Structure 1
Amino acid sequence: GDLFFHIRANQMAICYELASILHEQLKQDTYPISETKGFRYFDGRAILGFVDGTENPEHEIAKEIAYVGQEDAEFLGGSYVFIQKYLHNMEMWKGLTTEEQEKVIGRKKYDDVELGDDVKPQSAHNVASKAHDADGNELKILRANMPFSNPTEGEYGTFFIGYSRSFNITKTMLENMFLGKETGHVDRLLDFSTPVSGSLFFVPTFDFLEDLGE
Structure 2
Amino acid sequence: MSFNPAKVQDVWKDAGKEVQFTVLALKRQDQAKELAAVREFIDRFQAITRSLRIRAQKSNLKVAVGFSNAAWDYLFPNAPKPKELATYEGIKGDKYEMPATPGDIFLHVRANDEATVYEFMRQVMLFIGDVTTVVDETHGFRYFEGRAIIGFIDGTENPDVDEAKDYAVVGSEDPLFENGSYAFAQKWRHEMDIWHTLSTETQEKAVGRKKFDDLELPDGEKFKNAHNVVSQVEFNGVSQNIVRMNVPYSDPATGITGTYFIGYARHWQVTKAMLESMIKGHDYLLSFSKILSGQLFFIPSKDTLDQIVNGDLTK
3-state SS of 1:5 partner: strand
Give the conservation status (yes or no) of the 8 Å contact 2:154–2:245.
Answer: no
Map of 1:109 onto structure 2: 211
Q: Deviations over 1:31-51 (max 9, x none)?
A: 211111110001111111111
Aligned to 1:197: 293
Residue 140 of structure 2 is aligned to residue 30 of structure 1: no
Is residue 139 from structure 1 mapped to residue 265 from structure 2 by the alignment?
no
Correspondence 1:154-169 to 2 at 5 A: 154-169=255-270
Matches of 2:246 and 2:223, distance apart in 1: 24
Matched residue of 1:47: which SS? coil
Q: Distance in 1 between matches of 2:111 and 2:164?
A: 20
Map 1:76-95 onto structure 2 (within 5 A): 76-95=178-197
Q: Secondary structure at the match of 1:122?
A: coil
Deviation at 1:121, TM superposition (A): 2.2
205, 208, 213: which one pairs with 2:304?
208
TM-superposed CA distance for 1:209, in Å, is 2.3
Find 2:254's aligned residue among 128, 153, 166.
153
Match of 1:18 among 120, 126, 132: 120
AA aligned to 2:184 is F
Contact 2:205–2:222 (8 Å) recurs in 1: yes
Structural RMSD (CA): 1.0
Q: Paired residue for 1:57?
A: 159
> Larger % of strand: which?
2
- 1:124: which partner in 2? 226
Which consecutive unaligned segments of at least 5 residues does structure 2 have? 1-102
Other structure's SS at 2:153 match: coil
TM score, norm. by length of structure 1: 0.94
Q: In the aligned structure 2, how far is the partner of 1:98 from the partner of 1:14?
A: 37
**Residue in 1 that maps onto 2:27:** none
Q: How far off its partner does 1:148 sit?
A: 0.6
CA positional deviation for 1:153: 1.3
1:71-123 Cα offsets, whole Å, 9 max, x none, are: 11111110000000000111110111000011110000111111011211221
Structure 1 spans left out of the alignment, 5+ residues: 181-185
Q: Which moved more, 1:120-129 or 1:76-85?
A: 120-129
Normalising by structure 2, report the TM-score.
0.65
How many Å separate the matches in 2 of 1:93 and 1:45? 15
Identical aligned residues as a percent: 50
* One-letter amino acid of the counterpart of residue 164, structure 1: A
Counterparts of 1:168 and 1:93, CA distance in 2: 31
CA distance in 2 between counterparts of 1:160 and 1:52 reads 11
What is the CA distance between 1:188 and its match in structure 2? 1.1
Q: Aligned residue pairs: how many?
A: 208
Cα distance in 2 between the residues matched to 1:153 and 1:23: 28
Instruction: Tell me what 2:273 maps to.
Output: 172
